[in-house]
Amino acid sequence: MKTAIIYTSKHGTTAKVAQMIADRLIGDTVSVIDLKQVKSPDLNSYDGLILGTSIHAGTPSKTMQRFCNDNIEALTQKRLTLFVCGMEQDSAKQQHELENAYPQALYQHAAVKCFAGGEFLFEKMNFFERAIIKRIAKTDKSVSQIKEDEIDRLVMKNVE
């Protein structure tokens, strides 16, 4: 099975999660594609697609939104998995972020959907981001809350 993991990432966490998924998909031929570098990946080359974006201020990246809207037909023809990275702690809000990150047609078509957690990387934030997150998180220490169990679940569902 040929799988592409197509992602967008601001500070590197979604890129990290994409690579963690790729490393665990043993037996598949996996390409990890940064949408900011490869704007129009050839979707015909793959049997399965895994899309990932991070959430900032409640919204997914514009690049991922555009990619999904431009390729909605092709994406609904594939075995599809969706994930988001975020630091929201409330599970109902996590679910809401995940559902709203992708077009409804894709969300309904996807066999696997996953809120994969995230990281606050203060060293990579700009002045404004640092100020906002310091106020919300009440700390200025970098923290990683990547959900390895959710990544394992995503991978298991992809190899079933």
CB nearer to ligand FMN: give 73 or 128. Answer: 128
Q: Rounded distance, CA 68 to CA 149, Å?
A: 26
CB nearer to ligand FMN: give 18 or 110. Answer: 18
In angstroms, give the least distance from the CB of 116 to ligand FMN: 9
Residue 56 binding ligand FMN, by CB under 6 A: yes
In angstroms, give the least distance from the CB of 9 to ligand FMN: 3
Angle in degrees, 0-180, between the axes of helices 148-159 and 13-24, rounded to the nearest 10: 40
CA distances from 88 to 42, 50, 54, 85, 137 (A): 33, 21, 11, 9, 10
The secondary structure of 29-58 as a DSSP string is EEEEEETTT-SS--GGG-SEEEEEEE-BTT
On whether the CB atoms of residues 87 and 145 are closer than 8 A, the answer is yes
CB nearer to ligand FMN: give 7 or 46. Answer: 7
Of these, 26, 57, 91, 92, which contacts ligand FMN (CB under 6 A)? 57
110 phi-psi bin (left φ>0, alpha ψ -120 to 50, beta other): beta
Residue 92 binding ligand FMN, by CB under 6 A: no
**What is the SS3 assignment for 62?**
helix
Please give the residues from 98 up to 157 whose contact with ligand FMN meets the rule CB under 6 A. 118-120, 125, 129, 132-133
Of these, 51, 81, 86, 110, which contacts ligand FMN (CB under 6 A)? 86
Closest to 78 measured CA to CA, from 1, 160, 16, 9 = 1
Of these, 58, 105, 139, 159, which contacts ligand FMN (CB under 6 A)? 58
Of these, 12, 23, 69, 111, which contacts ligand FMN (CB under 6 A)? 12
The footprint of ligand FMN (CB under 6 A) covers 9-14, 54-58, 85-88, 97, 118-120, 125, 129, 132-133
